[in-house]
Structure 1
Amino acid sequence: MSHEGENKEKLGFLSKYMTVWVFVTMLAGVLIGYYVPGVKDKLGSSKIANVSVPMTVGLLWMMYPILCNVRYEILHKMASTRTFWKNIAFSLVVNWIIAPAIMLALGWATLPDLPEYRSGLMLVGTARCIAMVLIWNRMAGGDEELCAIIVAVNSLLQLVLYGPLSYVYVVVFSKGTSMGINMWPVVQSVLIFLGIPLAAAVLTRLILRRISPSFYDEKFMPFISPTSFLALLFVIIVIFASQGHDIVVNIKTLIRVIVPLILYFTIMFFTVLYVCYYYYVPYKTTSVHSFTAASNNFELAIAVAAGVYGETSNEAMAATIGPLVEVPLLLLFVRVLLYVKSRWYDNRIKA
């Protein structure tokens, strides 16, 4: 039996009904946030890089098992191929040129009278994903090595590009609220949310596989892999519990901000999916590009919005809505991609 097959068996009913579990945890989070007094303050009482400790722990653990599965020992072989560099170039264009421009256009089209919320949207649009994309890609059966590399490249570019890019889009193009970007929150976000789980995963793989490859592949990974999905459920509860009260109270304004986010995620995902399918890009690579294009680094966007404008600002609220839309929508896109694979990709291979 394959390593992937064992992981799926270990997940059992969790993986079979993952959509149900995600929506149950979303609902539970909203109810907790609305009916339990002070839960938002309690969850946010201790923070790391402007992100609550519970959220930080959940995100780190969510990424760790996935990064443990990356075969770092063969990455140099991947980097020696022309196809690899084509994938990197395509991802860079989509993530750093097209995606922010799409968010800008949608912000002006849907929120012309709400510059503060438009500013928050642009902070989301210019923050490329380094966490959630790993788990969406895994659920869809994408190429985990390529996904990890693109995540690493986006993280390094964030250190250089996020500050000036977000300033230009928020202040110049979007005519939003003025801002002074402090690059330290950006550095913190990358070091914590990618650096820690990546370093831990590399050390784990190098040490345990050197001691016993069979133990690592047949015992350790099948045991630890399902915990990434459990960590995702925990993160969802924390996100929705933190914002449950605001979701219910400010539902009208939130709906207006939700509209451009839904359009953004949908346009990015299906456009990249169509382009990849049209040009006969393999399914596993298509999964990586589709999810990296449609995902955003909400931890960074929220941290910067809170640090620059304040935690109670409209900019921070708009940035916070990002994951509330992204989580259920990207989960739906996992199902869409699996359906596309079974109906189109598999038939294309057979033909």
Structure 2
Amino acid sequence: MGRFERYLTLWVGLAMVAGIALGSLVPGLVAGIAAAEVANVNLVVAVLIWAMVYPMMVGVDPGSLKGVVRQPRGLAITLAVNWLIKPFTMAALGVVFFEVVFADLIAPEDAQQYIAGLILLGAAPCTAMVFVWSQLTRGDEAYTLLQVSVNDVVMVFAFAPIVAVLLGVADITVPWETLILSVVLFVALPLAAGLATRARLGSDARIAAFRDRVKPWSVIGLIATVVILFSLQGQVILDRPLIIALIAVPILIQSYGIFALAYAAAYMLRVPHRIAAPCALIGTSNFFELAVAVAISLFGLNSGAALATVVGVLVEVPVMLSLVAFANRTRTRFQQG
């Protein structure tokens, strides 16, 4: 884990501060960025999202899909948690907290926005960062790649319908055209570009070298997007700093709860630890780049939904590091073969 990734929470925090300052000092620039839209897609943010997503998609190896025969239980747990449980528990937590527990603290229209952001986080399982968590738990790299590859394929087809259903349940109008366009722009096309790049490069060594060169752009894109988001959300945060903590509560409960469920299932099904730990961490972590992109496309740069997805970025790294430590401490209770 590189120094930059290890302190990602710090960089995100500094980006938030920089964004708030930017919004206060040069509001005209921020307004210009916000106005650069085509078909409800912000062009500046679209470029940054591609910078985040493309390096991850280069790592998706279609040939790894055949590896499922080695350990189908680990993949089954990952798919069940990611697509049959996690999106719905996140939506339920959002409704419980923002329509019941925090109802007296938040305006109803704001509550719906935060719920929407949480739904987008819950429906987007982790991709690239899970390789970091897998490495820190001595996970099986090939199998982790298999799990991520299968998740990316499923995401292309399942993300939009699940999000649409859950947003509809939350009484939020679903702009289907924008949602589908977001999935095509930020999942399908980057995945196609990543596969084309792999084919052009040919050898594993050249692919690995290329990924190392473009990987920094993923984090740069994330940080720049956070700066833009918080430049638009700055006044809301200054006026109501408590909102960040309130949004973090259901995200924390979801993260630890999903990990406990997946990790316990792997233990009971006697999945080896080198597969069990990454399969639990994949479901716990989020593809926050996609969630941020879709939130911006659906609801706008200065929306509560976009703010909720960015809070997910802020919370994720310390949570995941604590779960990595727990997984390492409990390694000996699992099969090791």
Taking structure 2 as the reference length, what is the TM-score of the superposition? 0.81
Partner amino acid for 1:298?
V
Matched, 1:107 2:93: no
Matched, 1:119 2:112: yes
Rounded to whole Å, the distance in 1 between the matches of 2:87 and 2:125 is: 18
Change over 3 Å in CA distance of 1:52–1:242 after alignment to 2: farther
Rounded to whole Å, the distance in 2 between the matches of 1:68 and 1:239 is: 27
Rounded to whole Å, the distance in 2 between the matches of 1:154 and 1:86 is: 16
Partner of 1:197: 190
RMSD: 3.1
2:299 pairs with 278, 281, 305, which one?
A: 305
Rounded to whole Å, the distance in 2 between the matches of 1:205 and 1:117 is: 43
Partner amino acid for 1:277?
Y
Please state how far the C-alpha of 1:214 moved relative to its aligned partner: 3.0
Rounded to whole Å, the distance in 2 between the matches of 1:275 and 1:50 is: 37
Rounded to whole Å, the distance in 2 between the matches of 1:105 and 1:125 is: 12
Unaligned runs of 5+ in 1: 1-7, 171-178
Please state how far the C-alpha of 1:22 moved relative to its aligned partner: 2.8
1:215 pairs with 196, 206, 209, which one?
A: 206
SS of equivalent to 2:35: coil
Task: Map residues 124-143 of structure 1 onto 2, 5 A cutoff.
Answer: 124-128=117-121, 133-141=126-134, 143=144
Matched, 1:276 2:270: no
Rounded to whole Å, the distance in 1 between the matches of 2:123 and 2:189 is: 12
Partner of 2:167: 166
Partner amino acid for 1:165?
L
> Cα deviations across residues 170-191 of structure 1 (Å, max 9, x unaligned)?
2xxxxxxxx5433101111100
Please state how far the C-alpha of 1:58 moved relative to its aligned partner: 1.4
Matched, 1:266 2:266: no
Partner of 1:291: 285
Q: Retained in 2: the 8 A contact 1:133–1:295?
A: no
Partner of 1:149: 150
Larger deviation, residues 99-108 vs 80-89: 80-89
Q: Retained in 2: the 8 A contact 1:301–1:319?
A: yes
Partner of 2:219: 229
Please state how far the C-alpha of 1:111 moved relative to its aligned partner: 3.8
> Cα deviations across residues 184-238 of structure 1 (Å, max 9, x unaligned)?
01111100111221111011112212xx443223x32322233322222222222
The count of residues paired between Structure 1 and Structure 2 equals 318
Partner of 1:29: 19
Change over 3 Å in CA distance of 1:342–1:180 after alignment to 2: closer
Matched, 1:239 2:262: no
> Cα deviations across residues 282-328 of structure 1 (Å, max 9, x unaligned)?
1111110111499982332343334xxxx8xxxx7321321331121
Rounded to whole Å, the distance in 2 between the matches of 1:132 and 1:285 is: 11
Please state how far the C-alpha of 1:110 moved relative to its aligned partner: 3.1
Partner of 2:140: none
Q: Retained in 1: the 8 A contact 2:60–2:148?
A: no
Change over 3 Å in CA distance of 1:120–1:152 after alignment to 2: farther
Partner amino acid for 1:30?
I
Please state how far the C-alpha of 1:25 moved relative to its aligned partner: 2.2
